[in-house]
């Protein structure tokens, strides 16, 4: 009985330590995982799908699209992970605190950061993982191992868009390959013998099973990149919505937590409380603020 109590307790402590290490401290584990998955997908695409598609006569520009997006994505990844997101220091605090006004709803004047011992500028937040306050804080991204703030949001958006484009292009090309295989082999007009020994016409489920047995790694890769495309596509749409409305993920979450919704007009609607988003200045100006922030920090991080 003592052992049965001690062992689960120790496992629980070890699990908590692992989770704390992964999600509550800066770690390169997710960066390595992300790069390994990307290398695996591109390796399978290069050595399997590309060669088959070449033989089937699929247009070369389409086949090369994932390779053209790869260096752009890699460049945005490096810039996003290495760029200063907007770390607030004592030397730049006075200038950054003047950029955004306090809306008196999400951001109150006079609130001090107990860790940095400085007044929090509007739209800033202290990141517990990086142990710094970040100007126009959006979120901490484990995949790039860096905060997303005022000065690297543009790189993050481009990184997301190119990553989704890479996944979508590989999924499209792989799907075209399977369609070509099915059409050229005339599988849809074939038949098979079921477990009862009866001849049946080709069914979609049997066709998928046949393709999986013939091209197991390619089918698995296709399922993975389709799922990735859907997830990344949804996240890209959400990130673009935030950019066009001049919100951050942190602010969006805060609006939901306080039970309010940001709106261009401060008028009650259907009995709900709606506050004006004072940071939104129209789509064009909101995008300009993302790609050309109001100020530039020094290169050195503190």
Is 127 catalytic? The answer is no
8-32 pLDDT tens trace: 666 666 655 554 455 556 678 888 9
Q: How far is CA 29 from CA 64, 69, 203, 243, in A?
A: 30, 24, 43, 28
This prediction's pTM = 0.81
**Pairing between β-strand 146-148 and β-strand 139-141 as defined by DSSP bridges:** antiparallel
181-218 pLDDT tens trace: 888 877 666 555 656 666 666 667 767 787 888 889 99
What's the rounded Cα separation, in Å, for the pair 174 and 182?
Answer: 13
What's the rounded Cα separation, in Å, for the pair 249 and 253?
Answer: 6
pLDDT at 57: 86
264-298 pLDDT tens trace: 444 444 555 566 788 999 999 999 999 998 764 44
pLDDT at 103: 86
The more confidently predicted of residues 7 and 88 is 88
What's the rounded Cα separation, in Å, for the pair 140 and 212?
Answer: 38
Of 116, 127, 141, 147, the catalytic one is 141
| Dihedral of the alpha carbons of 264, 268, 271, 277, in degrees to the nearest 10 | 30
End-to-end CA distance of the chain: 52
């Amino acid at each position: 009985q003592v052992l049965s109590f001690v062992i689960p307790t120790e496992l629980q402590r070890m699990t908590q330590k692992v989770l704390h290490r992964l999600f509550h401290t800066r770690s390169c584990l997710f960066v390595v995982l992300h790069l390994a998955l990307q290398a695996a997908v591109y390796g399978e695409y290069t050595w399997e799908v590309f060669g088959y598609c070449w033989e089937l006569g699929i247009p070369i520009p389409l086949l090369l699209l994932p390779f053209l997006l790869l260096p752009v994505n890699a460049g945005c990844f490096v810039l996003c992970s290495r760029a200063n997101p907007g770390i607030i220091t004592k030397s730049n605090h006075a200038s950054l605190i003047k950029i955004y006004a306090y809306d008196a709803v999400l951001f109150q004047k006079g609130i001090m950061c107990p860790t940095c011992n400085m007044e929090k500028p509007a739209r800033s937040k202290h990141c517990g993982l990086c142990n710094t306050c970040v100007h126009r804080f959006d979120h901490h991204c484990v995949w790039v191992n860096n905060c997303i703030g005022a000065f690297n949001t543009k790189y993050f958006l481009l990184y997301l868009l190119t990553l989704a484009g890479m996944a979508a292009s590989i999924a499209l090309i792989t799907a075209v390959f399977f369609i070509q295989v099915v059409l050229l082999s005339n599988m849809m007009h074939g038949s098979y013998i079921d477990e009862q020994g009866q001849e049946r016409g080709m069914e979609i489920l049997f066709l998928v099973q046949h393709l999986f047995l013939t091209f197991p790694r390619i089918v698995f890769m296709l399922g993975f990149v389709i799922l990735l495309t859907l997830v990344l596509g949804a996240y890209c749409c959400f990130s673009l919505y935030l950019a066009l409305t001049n919100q951050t993920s942190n602010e969006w979450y805060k609006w939901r937590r306080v039970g309010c919704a940001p709106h261009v007009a401060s008028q009650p609607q259907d009995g709900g409380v709606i506050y004006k988003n004072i940071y939104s200045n129209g789509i064009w100006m909101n995008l300009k603020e993302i790609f050309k922030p109001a100020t530039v920090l020094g290169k050195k991080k503190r």
